[in-house]
């Protein structure tokens, strides 16, 4: 059984977004890393549900079912967003999980995190609260067969609360699956391993790392290009992902 890197990316869900062009660079970087670390890359190329019916961020929780239906034997699975680039020298994080649900604390906008927790608590989770300092980013999650029940619960939860969840997403703009996933983790007391920020470097612009010198490539391993201001049609996402890929893989 191999470890698997899973990337949910379906071209054409939003043809105006230039980030979709950059997703191929993400896939290439992860393909290189998987070959180096004897892992398998699995790219989700077709939607299970219409995009407007269920965002692709929710559809990633079908991953274990998709792998099994494809006849792929797996040990652990790392779900990564398509707007990531991995450093070719990134250590094998599958060896750091203790076989627990593994992620990276969301070192981004704490205003956004707290507002998201507050609104989901109030409108979806009947006032239940979770610890913000345990809150992980959904763009890098490592799971195994022990977590089938949680992923099944995530899909059932979405189907049972779809209308309210879509209203939440469109009204408060506090994310799709990420906060509900964190509620599921904490309310079910699922054992977790937290990796350091180097393994999912989000919000690079806010940390003054998104500069022409690409300083983040010297201090970390997985880079996610979110939260970039004035990013019309994801022009800057494409620019920075292309620049990073060329620096790491073509220079």
DSSP 74-127: EEEEEEE-TTEEE-TT---GGGGSTTSEEEEE--S-HHHHHHHHHHHHHHTSTT
Does residue 15 have a pLDDT over 80?
A: no
Q: What pLDDT is attached to residue 16?
A: 63
pTM of the model: 0.95
Q: What pLDDT is attached to residue 14?
A: 64
Identify the structural domains of the chain with CATH numbers, from first to last: 2-249 (3.90.550.10)
Distance CA 20, CA 23 (A): 5
C-alpha neighbours within 13 Å on the C-beta side of residue 11: 8
Q: What pLDDT is attached to residue 20?
A: 77
Q: Where are the beta strands (DSSP E) in the chain?
A: 2-8, 40-44, 74-80, 84-86, 101-105, 136-144, 192-195, 222-224
Determine the average pLDDT of the residues in 209-232.
96
- Over residues 31-83, the pLDDT tens digits come to 999 999 999 999 998 899 998 899 999 999 999 999 999 999 999 999 999 99
Question: Would you place residue 13 in the very low, low, confident or very high pLDDT band (cuts 50, 70, 90)?
Answer: low
CA-nearest of 191, 184, 206, 210 to 85 is: 210
Distance CA 241, CA 96 (A): 26
Does residue 145 have a pLDDT over 90?
A: yes
Question: Would you place residue 113 in the very low, low, confident or very high pLDDT band (cuts 50, 70, 90)?
Answer: very high
Does residue 17 have a pLDDT over 80?
A: no
């Amino acid at each position: 059984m191999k470890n698997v890197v899973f990337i949910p990316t379906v071209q054409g869900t939003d043809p105006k977004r230039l980030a979709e062009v950059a997703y191929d660079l993400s896939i290439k970087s992860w393909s290189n890393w998987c070959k180096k670390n004897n892992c398998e890359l699995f790219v989700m190329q077709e939607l299970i549900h219409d995009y407007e019916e269920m965002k692709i961020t929710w559809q990633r929780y079908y991953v274990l079912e998709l792998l099994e239906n494809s006849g792929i034997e797996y040990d652990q699975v790392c779900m990564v967003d398509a707007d990531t680039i991995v450093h070719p020298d990134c250590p094998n994080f599958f060896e750091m999980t203790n076989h627990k649900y593994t992620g990276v604390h969301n070192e981004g906008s704490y205003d956004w995190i707290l507002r998201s927790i507050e609104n989901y608590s109030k409108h979806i989770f009947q006032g239940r609260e979770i610890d913000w300092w345990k809150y992980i980013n959904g763009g890098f999650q490592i799971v195994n067969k022990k977590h089938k029940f949680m992923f099944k619960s995530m899909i059932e939860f979405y189907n049972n609360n779809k209308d309210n969840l879509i209203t939440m997403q469109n009204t408060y703009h506090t994310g799709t699956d990420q906060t509900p996933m964190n509620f599921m983790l904490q309310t079910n007391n699922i054992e977790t391993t937290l990796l350091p920020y180097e393994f999912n470097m989000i919000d690079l612009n806010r940390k003054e790392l998104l500069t022409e010198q690409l300083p983040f490539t010297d201090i970390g391993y997985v880079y996610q290009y979110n939260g970039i201001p004035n990013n019309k049609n994801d022009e800057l996402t494409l620019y920075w992902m292309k620049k990073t890929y060329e620096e790491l893989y073509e220079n």
